[in-house]
Structures are given as structure tokens and as C-alpha cells.
Amino acid sequence: MLRFAALLVVSTGCVLPAKTAHSEMRRGPIWADPRADLVFAWSFRERDGSQKVYETDHSDPSKTMHWATHQFKQVDRNRVSIIDPRTGAVTTFAEHEGEVQPLFWDAHHATLWVFDRSGIVTGITASGVTHPGHGGFVTGDLPAPFVQAFPHGNILDLSTGQIAKLDKRAGDGFPTLDGSVLRLSRLTIADASVLVDQTVIDWSNSGPQRRPDVHFATPALTSGYREAATVLPDGRRFAEVVTTPTGTQLYVYDLASSALVATLPITSLTKSPDATPKPQLYALGGDKLAFVAAERDRDNPLGDCWRGTAIAVDTRAVVAIPPTTCIQSVDGAHGRRWLQTTTGTAYVDARAQLASLDTLVSQPLALGPSTIAYTRTANGGIDVESIDLATGTIAKLGHHASQADTLLNVRPGRLTFMVGANRIVTEGNDGPATSIELPPLGN
């Protein structure tokens, strides 16, 4: 990741222009878009700088003002090179200012979309920089390749340039993507009910089509309280945990028809309605949910464990997570989540059982809405595997001889690795491995 320089001024005062002295080119992130067979290599120029600030000395009882010199590092230029690991072809894009991170590669228009520390999205091309029309766009919480006009509203598909024109209200909400249908869900509480309003956009045709909005309200609670709620990854179902004097239930509703499609008894995790932190209902993948709450770990007084219940909605399975299992975190994105425990990474299967991957997954590659790729130590090197967290399907994708190398990309029949600091190796079943050196850093 690129480093963002920051200058801290301890109080308001006079600031003289910054001065720069030494500069140095450094290697930036090496990135691959899982939809392309390309690798993107960053380099950036980092400058040492200093700034004089007339400020208050808070360590001085008299609070006198004085001139102080602050040293800092600043990135003032970025360069990105695109490497085709199969052919060795290298294309160096035009330099651009500021610090950015890669977001999406638009192969049709040969544009690399990036975002800066404010989330503002910009397109970079070989000839220069192109800005998206219709105002500034930000990454927000939308899944790639979608970005949204700031602060809310129109949604742009970076892969096609198509725009869904929305107002501020319709463009707000929690996103879920079901095939080509993007839903934005807004949850509010009104008169003891949860209201779910959805904006629905179908991107499957020649342009985005606005479908009828969805409006749903849960039955009002006359007693008891709600512990947690979420929209399932398909965007078509809503789930909530409700405790009443008669017990605790997980209710699942079809948002389009308002029908109650599942009622499952579950153990409450709320000691009192006002207790904090609140339990969480996580959408792991497909119909799999985890209803968990943090509690103090007896064996680790400084750490918490998340404990609770695993759920498979379609098979109506609700299984308590064993009390001996300490879940340290629930990682990933909505609909593509896995559980990190003290003994490794786990997922929830179709029986709502916690299943171990027998390895610790760290920074996996996202291959799809519910699928990730990861590595495990095997036979002196590493095996590359994928798991669909919606179905629990695990597949071995290949083997690599070195444990020291970093998996960059997974394509059908091919795996790409970063070897050392300057070499890219691609291995596959369609021919011998290829090895490409990264372009020099330059000046």
C-alpha cells in the first residue's frame, strides 16, 4: 500500500512554504485485476521535506510561541506500468500526481481506474488522465465496477461507462449484487417496525433499467426487542433476530412478497436491550449467517472472542458454535466472509457446522461474489485453493514450489506470483512457466 504523508500542526499559527530536499523513486504496490491477465506495477517518487511552523509550545508553562521545523515525506509523482506476463509486453502509463490505489481495469477502453485517499475515482490512460463525466465519483461501498456520484446519487459502471441516474435518496443504501441486479437497501425503524426500502437496478440489458422499488415492513413489536438484522447477499431476503417473552427467533422474509419464509429458534445473545456492544448478524455467503457477540476470553484477559450461532437458512439448520472455539474476527465483505479463530480459518457449511480450512487465510484474492482464493503450505511449497463460501465447495487450483512468493492473480488454468521484489512468474497447464522482470524504477 502507498504511504500517505501527514503534517501535524499542534496549534493554529503561521506556516512557511514547505521545502523539499532529497527525492527517491520507490516501488509501489503490485496489483492484478482478477478479470484480466495483466499485472500493474506502481512506482512513486518520495521527497523529504520540511516546514517551519510558528506554533505554541505546550510544554512551556507560559505557552510562548516559537518557530519549529517539522520533517515529513511526500509523494509527488506516480507511474504505473502494465505487464502482460504471457508475452512480456510492458506499457508505461502517463505519470500522475498524488497518491492513489488501483480499483478496476477497463480493458475495452484501456483505462485503469484508481482512487485517492478521499475515495475520488479517476481513470488513467497511456496518453494521460481522463476524468469521469457527470461530476466526481467515489468508491463508496459499491462492489466493483460500480462507483457513485458524490455524495450520493448517480451510479457509474466503469466497465461500460453506463450511468444509472438516481436522486440522493434512491442512491443511498446498503448495496447487494445478485447477478446483474444491484439493490440498494435502506433500513429504518418506525412505530416498532423495521422498514426496508430498496432501489433496484438491472444492468443486464443495453443500459441500466430501474425496476420498481421494494417497500417492506416487519410486523410491529408489542413486546420484546430486536437483537440484530441484515439483508442476505441476494438482496431478496431480510433476516432479523427478535426476542419476546416467549423466546428468541430468527425470522427470514421475502422482501418482494413480504412473506415470512423461515422461522428458526435461536439462542439470545443480548443480556439486556441496552447492553453494548450489540450482537451482529453477518451474511457469510449465500444463505449462511453467523449470529455472534463479543465476550471476554477467560484465557486471554486482554482479548475478546466472538461466540454465538451458525445458521444455514435454506436447510433450516441452526447450530451453536462450540464454546471452545474462539472467533477472533469475521473478515471479508458482505456475502463473502470467513471466520478467523485461534486455530485457523473456518467457514459455515450447509449443515450450519463450523468447518475448518486447516490453514490461516490472510489477504485472499476475491474471485467472485462469494469465492476467494488462498494458499496453504504443502509439499515444500504452497497449494493454491479456492472456496465458494456460499456452497462450501473447495477446489485445488495448482501448486507452487516456493513458500516465499506472493499469489498475485488467479485466471483459468494460470496462477501468477510475485517472486522477490522485481520478478513476476506465471504458471499454468497451457505451457511452460514465464518469468518477467519489472520495469526499472526510473528517475
Predicted local confidence at residue 300, as pLDDT: 59
Q: Is 284 left (phi over 0), alpha (psi -120 to 50) or beta?
A: alpha
Choose between 72 and 248: higher pLDDT: 248
Q: How far apart are CA 202 and CA 180, in angstroms?
A: 6
Residues 6 or more apart whose Cβ sits within 8 Å of residue 48:
20, 21, 22, 23, 71, 72, 73
Residue 279 is given by DSSP the state P
Q: What average pLDDT does range 419-434 have in this prediction? A: 87
At 12, the pLDDT band (50, 70, 90 cuts) reads very low
pLDDT digits (tens, 9 = 90+) for 226-244: 999 999 999 999 999 999 9
Where helices occur in 258-353 by DSSP H, the ranges are none
Specify the 3-state DSSP secondary structure of 394: strand
Q: What average pLDDT does range 393-416 have in this prediction? A: 94
pLDDT at 189 over 50: yes
Beta strands in 270-335 (DSSP E): 280-285, 288-297, 300-312, 317-320, 327-333
Predicted local confidence at residue 45, as pLDDT: 76
3-state helix, strand, coil in the chain (%, to 5): 0, 60, 40
296 strand-pairing partners: 304
pLDDT at 252 over 90: yes
pLDDT at 6 over 50: no
Predicted local confidence at residue 52, as pLDDT: 77
Q: What average pLDDT does range 254-259 have in this prediction? A: 96
Q: How far apart are CA 157 and CA 121, in angstroms?
A: 12
Here the contacts of 362-370 (C-beta below 8 Å, separation 24 or greater) are: 365/34, 365/407, 365/409, 365/410, 366/34, 366/333, 366/336, 367/34, 367/410, 369/143, 369/177, 369/233, 369/335, 369/336, 370/233, 370/285, 370/286, 370/335, 370/336
pLDDT at 186 over 50: yes
pTM given for the model: 0.84
pLDDT at 279 over 60: yes
At 328, the pLDDT band (50, 70, 90 cuts) reads very high
Cell of 330: 469475521
Q: How far apart are CA 340 and CA 94, in angstroms?
A: 41
Predicted local confidence at residue 54, as pLDDT: 74
Q: Is 391 left (phi over 0), alpha (psi -120 to 50) or beta?
A: alpha
Residues 6 or more apart whose Cβ sits within 8 Å of residue 432:
none
Cell of 286: 449465500
pLDDT at 301 over 60: no
Predicted local confidence at residue 86, as pLDDT: 81
Residue 104, burial from CB neighbour count under 10 angstroms (0-12, 13-18, 19+) = buried
Place of cell 441486479: 181
pLDDT digits (tens, 9 = 90+) for 361-403: 999 999 999 999 999 999 999 999 999 999 999 999 999 999 9
Give the least confident one: 202-211, 271-280, 296-305, 372-381: 296-305
pLDDT at 84 over 50: yes
Q: How far apart are CA 198 and CA 426, in angstroms?
A: 43
pLDDT at 80 over 90: no
Place of cell 477446489: 395
Choose between 270 and 276: higher pLDDT: 270
Residue 376, burial from CB neighbour count under 10 angstroms (0-12, 13-18, 19+) = middle
Rounded mean pLDDT of the chain? 86
Q: How far apart are CA 21 and CA 120, in angstroms?
A: 29
Residue 326 is given by DSSP the state -
pLDDT digits (tens, 9 = 90+) for 20-32: 566 677 777 889 9
Q: How far apart are CA 111 and CA 319, in angstroms?
A: 47
Predicted local confidence at residue 276, as pLDDT: 72
pLDDT at 5 over 60: no
Question: What percent of the chain shows pLDDT beyond 90?
Answer: 53
pLDDT at 335 over 70: yes
Choose between 3 and 417: higher pLDDT: 417
Most confident listed range (47-56, 130-139, 156-165) = 156-165
pLDDT at 138 over 70: yes
Q: Is 295 left (phi over 0), alpha (psi -120 to 50) or beta?
A: beta
CA 189 to chain centre: 27
Predicted local confidence at residue 293, as pLDDT: 93
Choose between 13 and 435: higher pLDDT: 435
Domain-by-domain residue ranges, the chain?
1-131, 138-186+194-217
Q: How far apart are CA 280 and CA 277, in angstroms?
A: 9
Residue 342 is given by DSSP the state T
Q: How far apart are CA 395 and CA 66, in angstroms?
A: 64
| Cβ–Cβ under 8 Å, residues 56 and 35 | no
Nearest to 146 by CA among 135, 134, 162: 162
Predicted local confidence at residue 116, as pLDDT: 84
| CB atoms near residue 151 (< 10 Å) | 11
Q: What average pLDDT does range 42-52 have in this prediction? A: 76
Predicted local confidence at residue 43, as pLDDT: 81
What Cα–Cα distance (Å) separates residue 280 from each residue in 265, 297, 309, 317? 17, 18, 11, 18
Predicted local confidence at residue 58, as pLDDT: 65
Predicted local confidence at residue 21, as pLDDT: 60
Choose between 92 and 214: higher pLDDT: 214
At 131, the pLDDT band (50, 70, 90 cuts) reads confident
Strands of the sheet containing 155-157, edge to edge, are: 137-138, 146-149, 155-157, 163-164
